[in-house]
Amino acid sequence: AGVESPTHEIRADADPSARSAKSIVITLADKHTFDRPVEILIHPSEPHMPHILMEEGDMTPAEYERHLKGKNDFIKGTKKDPSAEKKMEIIRRRLNKDIPHHPVIMLNFCPDLRTVQPDLQKAQGEFIFLVDRSRSMSGVNINRVKDALLVILKSLMPACLFNVIGFGSTFKTLFPASQTYCEESLAVACESIKRIRADMGGTNILSPLKWVIRQPIHRGHPRLLFLLTDGAVSNTGKVLELLRNHSCSTRCYSFGIGPNACRRLVRGLAAVSRGIAEFLAEGERLQPKMIKSLKKAMAPVLSDVSVEWVFPESTEVLVSPVSTSCLFPGDRLVGYGIICDTSPYISNPRSDKRRRYSMMRSQESGSSVFFHSQEEAAGVESWNHSRDSEGCCPAEHAPDQLAPRVDGAGWFPRRSGADPLSRRAGTDMKASSRRRAYSTTQIADHEPCKKVPTASDPGTALVKNPLRKTHLQDLQQVSPEPWQADFQ
């Protein structure tokens, strides 16, 4: 445990020999010249345990109540209907506008899978190889790709899924959908790869990427893209935004071949999806770099992660989704909750009544959504037992074990954290009846099962962030061609 700064000299009020501390006051040793950002690195004593941090809002509950009463929507709404229900409705609608005024809690979890279970199996992912077959890839580049792909395909794990997509001005898929890895499918893939040529015109990555995103997510098979290209595209921003919107279900390992590969594209695809980018210089072999990325992609993965936040009835909460549905070694699970105290507007609030807010991955679309349960009345005795078992200090108490999944595909947290607001809130992994609700960053690019949005997650957030939309009609225009019949 400790603190340090790579940019400035700092002073800390903690004992230099201390191994842990509940709080540390840090000051700059010299006057700040504002010529560079101040960076402070915190090394927790238990880095692989869940931690919950809290930051107060810029208003107290009383100050926020005065602030709220001065807003036009509150004045007009309560003038016609001064009931507590109407006031609560207005507060829910304003939650995303008043974020700076409320306390925010953050859950941070970076599991160490090897320590918990040293003999974890490698991930049986869904491996999709996107191969640039534009004219610029002709000659040495396409031959390097073919040689590397033949080795990589023979290195995949049994029972994983895979597919190969060649793209240029259009794109062609080897299989209509990802196939289970076996001797027959491997033989078909190897024969097709031996015959590929750089004969597909220009470079259009967006269309095949949209097609991949449209495919259903296979439970227990995290989607892993391997993109190989030597050029650039005119719509790099759209490509990166599309993958960023679906980074919860898709991870990209990108390879720039030759000096003309667009570094913004190759690095960006890896950055937005938490993958790895590699560049190939003239005369350099592609195979070792792909093997290196493949080993990382096949590392044990924490899948089917869900987190439940449990709050008193007298709070309204806006929960931010986790950044990814699958956690690879070194990944962090980060979740946020904006909390509004609504006790002044609730008549006779029940102390034993709780609400559960859950963060999960949508199986239909792969996008991150919220599951907000109906209010549930839990007994005081069971609630106290839950609090006592989890602890009451968010900075010090956290779940200390992982539980094996029933299907054996991975491990998941048994409990997600402690009570983050001095016994006002907590996290729990227990199953509960839920109704689905859109998050404020939900991408409206699919039509899964009907979802009921909560009042605290207004759909207007999508209007304010048009770049985070992928239009359904654009995706439906993509029609891949079969690859096997026309691959010469």
Answer whether 104's CB lies under 8 Å from 339's CB: yes
Over its length of 488 residues, how does the chain's per-residue pLDDT go in tens digits? 678 899 999 988 877 677 777 778 899 999 989 999 999 988 888 888 888 889 999 999 889 989 998 999 889 888 888 888 888 888 888 888 899 999 999 988 888 877 766 666 777 899 999 999 999 999 899 999 999 999 999 999 888 999 999 999 999 999 999 999 999 999 999 999 999 999 998 999 999 999 999 999 888 888 999 999 998 899 999 999 999 989 888 999 999 998 989 999 999 999 998 899 999 988 889 999 999 999 988 887 776 777 888 888 888 888 876 555 677 777 788 888 899 888 888 777 666 667 776 665 433 333 333 333 333 333 333 333 333 333 333 333 333 333 333 233 333 333 333 333 333 333 333 333 333 333 333 333 334 334 444 433 444 444 444 443 333 333 333 445 444 434 33
CATH of domain 126-299: 3.40.50.410
Gap between the Cα atoms of 425 and 310, Å rounded: 6
48: exposed, middle or buried (C-beta count within 10 Å: 0-12, 13-18, 19+)? middle
Instruction: Report the candidate in 317, 171, 289, 160 with the shortest Cα–Cα distance to residue 233.
Output: 171
Give the pLDDT score at 115: 73
Give the pLDDT score at 109: 85
Instruction: Report the candidate in 218, 411, 406, 404 with the shortest Cα–Cα distance to residue 303.
Output: 411
Answer whether 209's CB lies under 8 Å from 470's CB: no
Domain ranges of the chain: 1-45, 61-117+303-457, 126-299
Give the pLDDT score at 353: 66
Give the pLDDT score at 333: 82
Within 8 A by CB and 6+ apart from 208, the residues are 130, 165, 167, 171, 478, 480
Answer whether 188's CB lies under 8 Å from 173's CB: no
Alpha-carbon Rg for the chain in angstroms: 25
Gap between the Cα atoms of 286 and 143, Å rounded: 10
H-assigned helices in 332-484: 380-390, 460-464, 472-476
For tokens 């096949």, name the residue. Answer: 298
For tokens 């989704």, name the residue. Answer: 321
pTM: 0.57
Give the pLDDT score at 408: 32
User: Chain-centre distance of CA 210, in angstroms?
Assistant: 19
